[in-house]
Amino acid sequence: MSKFGNKEKAEMPELNTSSLPDLIFSILFFFMIVTSMREEEVKVDVKLPKGSERVLTEIEHKSSVINVYVGVPTKAEDRARYGDRNCIQLNDKISGINEVRDFVNDGRKSMKQVDQARMKVALKVNQHADMGIVTDVKMELRQAGALNVLYSADKLAEKGE
């Protein structure tokens, strides 16, 4: 049984880990490129509507985009305060409809000149929200002169393609 006898003496060869940092660095760079900084904490449940890829466009200039979220608050304390209904979130807080206009105007003022001209409001609305609140928001946007609007949506996984 000499073939199996000297097991304890056999040493495991050491794994060469010198390329590990390079590997991790490339993953790091990948993530730095594909992702963007999270600007605000989303406090409402925004499950975006789904749409066919053919009609969806991608935002080119992220610095000229203002986000408006509509959905039911996710936190229990917010729900207790605002009720179990669809709310509007501007910046980091849940707001009323009358604050939309000032929010858009302030957002526009804080932008660079180039971005002001191509300013776009991304409406991130939950797919189950009702049109009432969406129309109210749109009406405010029209009053604020923010006519370029993007109805944010997710890609629909299309079958048979």
CB atoms within 10 A of CB 18: 6
State which residue, 55 or 76, has the beta carbon closest to another protein.
55
State which residue, 48 or 111, has the beta carbon closest to another protein.
48
| Shortest Å, Cβ 5 to another protein | 35
State which residue, 80 or 147, has the beta carbon closest to another protein.
147
| Shortest Å, Cβ 143 to another protein | 5
Tell me the one-letter amino acid at 154. Answer: D
State which residue, 4 or 31, has the beta carbon closest to another protein.
31
Interface contacts to another protein, rule CB under 8 A: 17-18, 20-21, 24-25, 27-28, 31-32, 34-38, 48-52, 54-59, 62, 65, 120, 122, 125-132, 134-135, 138-139, 141-143, 145-155
Strand-strand pairing, 87-90 and 65-71: antiparallel
Rounded to whole angstroms, the Cα distance separating 44 from 40 reads 12
Rounded to whole angstroms, the Cα distance separating 72 from 81 reads 12
- CA-CA-CA-CA torsion sign (106, 109, 110, 111): positive
